[in-house]
Amino acid sequence: MLEIEYYRREMLDLVGRTIDHVECPDPWWIRRAGTPADVARALVGAQVVAIRRHGKLLLIDISHPSTGRSAGDGDPEVLGLRFGMTGRPMVDDRPPPFALEYASSAVHEEWVRFHVEFVEGGQLRILDPRRLGAAELDPDVSALGVDAWEIGRSDIDGIIGTSSAAIKSVLLDQSRVAGLGNMLVDEVLWRAGIDPSRRAGTLSTAERSALTEAVRGTLPELFARGGSHLGDLPASRRVVDATCPRDGAVLRRTTVGGRTTYMCPEHQR
DNA sequence: GATGACCTGTGA
DNA sequence: TCACAGGTCATC
């Protein structure tokens, strides 16, 4: 999600431009939006009005000044972009501002899944080697939970509810809280001193406060450092026999919610 | 709520 | 050669 916020800021240059041409070399990548012809029909002639983010979903607000029609008559108002793990945008041929942890920084033409050219010049290209991302028209933002960046202490009880699932699974559930991925959740739970496999509903009031503060502290801090992989429990420690930077214990590698999980058996309980 | 499939580049 | 990465979705 931190990466998506970088992308959002990078793409702010597109605001005000009018879409002249759309290419969808990979129909798989736009499957949610229909066929390449559907997408072209929906986007060409539209103007980029704003670029927002909710969780991991990037939202491009568009208007259709040339048609003279008002909203609500069927024209899409939002283009949604999901980047998955390996997707990244290139704006006007500028490379993304940083490297991804699990993806090559190379630019292969065959990795371009989505390509938009603008009347005023320049273009937006989405590269996604592993094809985990997707484009979507008018995505249902209401299906997503509160944005993790905006989370407050009062949100936590609603997020956890009466869930008996592992707290890690709950935090990864985008419909409860949007924006936390596998590595960020591990980092947050490590900071809060909470075992990822703990049943969510069993968290005490103090633990819920610690969890909230961990989320609120971690996101701005790691954003400033440059990405999700640069936490105190960084990607470089997600290896066998790595030790906890807090107490020196050997980190445990487990599976929680179907995801590889690193945690400290000494201080996460 | 839990599990596995899906996508494919990467590194052992 | 093959396990693994993780966000999302289908299925139980």
Give the model's pLDDT for residue A193.
94
Q: How far is CA A249 from the centre of its chain?
A: 31
Q: How far is the CA of A141 from the C1' of B4 (A)?
A: 26
User: What is the residue-level pLDDT of chain A in tens, covering all 269 positions?
Assistant: 888 999 999 999 999 999 999 999 999 899 888 889 999 999 999 999 999 999 999 999 999 876 555 555 678 899 999 998 889 899 998 876 666 666 666 778 888 999 999 999 999 999 998 888 999 999 989 889 999 999 999 999 999 988 999 999 999 999 999 999 999 999 999 999 999 999 999 999 999 999 999 999 999 999 988 888 888 887 777 888 888 999 999 898 889 988 889 999 999 99
pLDDT of residue A237: 79
Q: What pLDDT score does A101 carry?
A: 61
Q: If you search the block for the tokens 């972009």, which residue do you land on?
A: A81
pLDDT for the residue numbered A268: 94
Scan residues 26-45 of chain A and list those with Cβ within 7 Å of strand B: 28
Q: List bases in chain B with any atom under 7 Å of a protein Cβ.
A: 1-5, 7-10
Tokens matching residue A71: 């909203």
**pLDDT score of A233:** 82
pLDDT of residue A31: 86
Look at the alpha carbons of A82, A59, A149, A96 in this order and tell me if their dihedral is positive or negative: positive
DSSP string, A93-146: TBPPSS--TTS-----GGGEEEEEEETTS-EEEEE-TT---EEEES--GGGS-E
Residue A209: exposed, middle, or buried by beta-carbon count in 10 A (0-12, 13-18, 19+)?
middle
Nucleotides on chain C that have an atom closer than 7 A to a protein CB are 4-9
| Rounded alpha-carbon distances, angstroms, from residue A156 to A90, A147, A205 | 36, 12, 10
pTM above 0.85, yes or no: yes
Q: Angle at Cα A161 formed by Cα A158 and Cα A167, nearest 5°?
A: 105
C-alpha distances in Å from residue A54, one per residue of A60, A81, A250: 11, 11, 36
Residue A122 CA: distances (Å) to CA of A25, A43, A153, A187: 18, 16, 43, 38
Q: Is the CB of A257 under 7 A from strand B?
A: yes
Residue A214 CA, chain-centre distance (Å), reads 18
3-state DSSP call for residue A259? strand
pLDDT at A9 (0 to 100): 92
- Please check whether strand B approaches the CB of A18 to within 7 Å: no
Tokens standing for residue A239:
């290896």
User: What pairing do the DSSP bridges indicate for beta strands A146-147 and A177-178?
Assistant: parallel
